[in-house]
Amino acid sequence: MAENNPDLFQAAVGYQFRNLQFLLEALTHSSYAQESADRPRDNEQMEFLGDAVLSFVVSVMLADAFPGWEEGNLTRARAHLVAAPHLYAVANSLNLGQYLRLGRGEEKTRGRDKPALLVNALEAVVAALYRDGGIDAARDFIATFIVPQDLAGAASELFSIDYKSTLQELLQAERSAPAEYLVVEESGPEHQKTFTVEALAGDNLIARGRGGNKKAAEQEAARMILEKLGKKTETHG
């Protein structure tokens, strides 16, 4: 089976491990370790290290690519590149799930498709590369698979503020329910519609946002609620 053949993964990422044990540890979920007679190490410590290595390497790459940008923008760009949704997409592009070593319970519950398991494993792989080949091996992998090839070209996406995520994090910190978004109006011709979205958050905070698509309208509504909460929403920081 593919998950028992790490050679396929090494071929996929273009790196041959000198110490294969590092890679095996990165691919080993705790459920597998607990069920195995030889009790191999699981990938939790590798995940911890990989998170730090990834953050450091991405920070260096962003600072090199955008020497004129302020800390706030660089922080937002890094947050985008190390966020779970982005890493989950990277893990899927590598078919990482098929190489994981999982216990029987995780197999039955489709563990190979679970975003959290895949993101953790990807971070663990970064750590395995660092352990085996140093920072150069980790950086090559990150540059090839995680960071856009044309960083300058991706600037607008990387530095944009995700108001919905910012609001969600704020509400979570305050132990409030997630914000709810509802399209309340659609106007204009089919090819050039304007959407109006109403957002409800916290203690009956309501705001309406408009945009050329639902996503843009939701972002605007979230931005307005953040302003009502007294949170700054400047694009440049």
108-112's contacts with Cβ under 8 Å and 24+ in sequence apart are: 111/29, 111/31, 112/3
In 3D space, the residue among 135, 99, 141 whose CA is nearest the CA of residue 118 turns out to be 99
Q: How far apart are the first and last CA of the chain?
A: 49
Token pair listed for 15: 């790196």
Rg (Cα) of the chain, in Å, rounded?
Answer: 21
- 181-212: string of b/e by CB count within 10 Å (b at 16+)? beeeeeeeeeeeeebbbbbebbeebebebebe
Q: How far is CA 160 from the centre of its chain?
A: 15
CB 220 within 8 A of CB 212: no
Number of C-beta neighbours around residue 114 at 10 A:
17
Q: How far is CA 129 from the centre of its chain?
A: 19
Q: Point out the residues that are catalytic.
A: 51, 123
